[in-house]
Amino acid sequence: MLVSIISAGMSKMGKRDNLSSRELFAEAYLECMQRVPNLDRKEIGAVYVGSQSEIYEHQIMYGNMVAETVGLVPKAAIRVEGCAAAGAIALRSAIIDVMSGLHDIVLAVGIEKMTAQSTEIVTDALMAASEPLEQINGLTFPSIYAMMAVEHMHRYGSTIEDFAKVAVKNHLNGSLNPKAHLQKQISIADVLSSKVVAWPLKLYDCSPISDGSAVAVVCKPELATKYTDSAIQVLGMAAATDTLGLYNRKDLSWPNAAAIACTEACKIAKMDLTKVKIAEVHDAFTINEILLSEAAGFAEKGKGHLLIREGETSINGKISINPSGGLKARGHPTGATGLAQVYEIFLQLRGEAGKRQVSQADYALALNEGGSDAVVVSHVFGR
């Protein structure tokens, strides 16, 4: 056991008109603190905030903003980055802080307010996480992941129907999540008939532009019972990188950084993933859920699409992947996504996930990435 997570909170995800990122954070923070009434905010030693871009609100000092909002000035409050992996990097930073002995209790935060900007501005901001040559030649992330999808289809026989089944599953899960951005169930026909964004990926293969925030309180394990009888434990963690540009990779359809991060996190946790019943993985595009399920070891390389074909990733399947609805339906406020994954796992391992509760789950995995699987952070959790 590395550290304990004694509480977590999350705002409603979606198009939150007239709310700033400060207010979205406050919504998540209040829920989090209500779970631990014995915790005085003055006991929080530091704050780490994950945020993808300063463009959306013309604000880069998210650490200060968070500290001011909840009365933590002059405590250390540090913004971390990693595009869509920023939330998991904030958690990783908080864990390292506590493990080092620097502080006993640390707050990890993820924030993004995206919907006030146009799709063009959001797309441009996201592409700052790609290789310059890709940017110069007009590639966007949908087209980059489309190339990954085409390669997987060519090598292993996955189909657009397989990708559609990922979307259908995650929309079903999202319909059970009152905080999800998209709570509408869809059919395979809906996905296949939706507008092509970058073939073979269609509109319903892509996650929405969202606003939201999520937080978690990290604590020394020996202090956790002072605040709660139902903390969850961080058993392992790891981070890894790959090349920014796809053209520098030997295999476009293999997220190598994710495979390394999962292997190392499990090694630290001294367990293999056969014990994991829940996984929140980064499905910004449906193909990525398939790729990451292979990288994590839930399926052999090239066979991730068979999991969705056989229904093994549903809420009551062999391995429940994205019971929250994932980025695809829960929403994808980029800096908040990594901690939104942790929030879902926090609820699941405490048996508080309601209609989407996975039964008999003692261990879970969170897999958050930035760029085109260029930086990946993995965390393994237990009851």
Task: Name the percent of the chain in helix, strand, coil, to the closest 5.
Answer: 45, 20, 35
d(CA 169, CA 286) in angstroms, rounded, equals 10
- 3-118+210-232 shares its CATH topology with 129-208+235-382: yes
Q: What is the largest CA-CA distance in the chain?
A: 56
In this structure, which CATH number among 3.40.50.12280, 3.90.180.10, 3.20.170.30, 3.40.47.10 belongs to the domain 129-208+235-382?
Answer: 3.40.47.10
d(CA 324, CA 281) in angstroms, rounded, equals 10
User: Where are the domains positioned within the chain?
Assistant: 3-118+210-232, 129-208+235-382
The tokens describing 7, both together, are: 């509480």
CATH class of the 3-118+210-232 domain in this structure: alpha beta
Which amino acid is located at 188 in the chain? Answer: I
Instruction: Supply the pTM of this predicted model.
Output: 0.97
d(CA 241, CA 236) in angstroms, rounded, equals 18
Residues 6+ positions from 42 with CB-CB distance below 8 Å: none
pLDDT by residue, tens only, the chain of 383 residues: 899 999 999 999 999 999 999 999 999 999 999 999 999 999 999 999 999 999 999 999 999 999 999 999 999 999 999 999 999 999 999 999 999 999 999 999 999 999 999 999 999 999 999 999 999 999 999 999 999 999 999 999 999 999 999 999 999 999 999 999 999 999 999 999 999 999 999 999 999 999 999 999 999 999 999 999 999 999 999 999 999 999 999 999 999 999 999 999 999 999 988 899 999 999 999 999 999 999 999 999 999 999 999 999 999 999 999 999 999 999 999 999 999 999 999 999 999 999 999 999 999 999 999 999 999 999 999 99
Q: What is the DSSP string of 151-210?
A: HHHHHH---HHHHHHHHHHHHHHHHT-TT-S------HHHHHHSPEEETTEEGGGBPPB-
d(CA 174, CA 195) in angstroms, rounded, equals 21
Looking up tokens 């509480």 gives 7
Tell how strand 232-241 and strand 375-382 pair up: antiparallel
